[in-house]
Amino acid sequence: MIKATMWGGDLPAVEQAAVTLADFVGGARFDHPSRIRYLKPKESGVWELKTGDLRIFGWFPSHDCFVAANGADAYDAKQPGGYAALIRGVVKCRERLNLDEPKFVQSTELRDVISG
C-alpha cells in the first residue's frame, strides 16, 4: 500500500490526489483530522480528504464509500468564501443525482463513515 505524506513531499498535486485516493481505497487509516474532516455546516454532509497541497471534497452515501465531487488547491480553498463555495458545489452535485434517500450518511462521526 502506498502511503501519502501529509504535506506531499516532492509529489506534484495530481500524484498527491492519486496516492491519497489509493490509500483510501486500499484501507489506509484516515482517522486523523490531518487526513479527513467533516465540514460545516453539519447538515451539508460534506467531508474533506486532505493532502499538503490539495483538498478533495465529497460525501459518504454509505459506510466506506466516498464520492469525490470536487477538489481544490489548499491555498485556494482557504481563501475567503473558498470552503463555502466548494461545499455548495458538492451539495449541488449530490442533489442532481437520482440517489435513494438519504443521499448521504447522516452522521458527523468518523466511525460512522469509515472503518478503522
pLDDT digits (tens, 9 = 90+) for 44-89: 999 999 998 999 999 999 999 999 999 999 999 999 999 999 999 9
- Residue 32: pLDDT band with limits 50, 70, 90: confident
Mean pLDDT of 106-115: 94
CB-based burial, 39-72: b 16+ in 10 Å, e otherwise:
beeeebbbbbbbbeebbbbbbbbeeeebbbbebb
Please name the residues in contact with 73: beta carbons below 8 A apart, sequence gap of 6 or more: 13, 53, 54, 55
Structural domains of the chain ordered from first start? 13-105 (3.30.2310)
pLDDT the model gives residue 112: 95
pLDDT the model gives residue 83: 97
Q: 1-5, 34-38, 61-65, 81-85: which has the minimum mean pLDDT?
A: 1-5
Q: Whose grid coordinates read 491519497?
A: 20
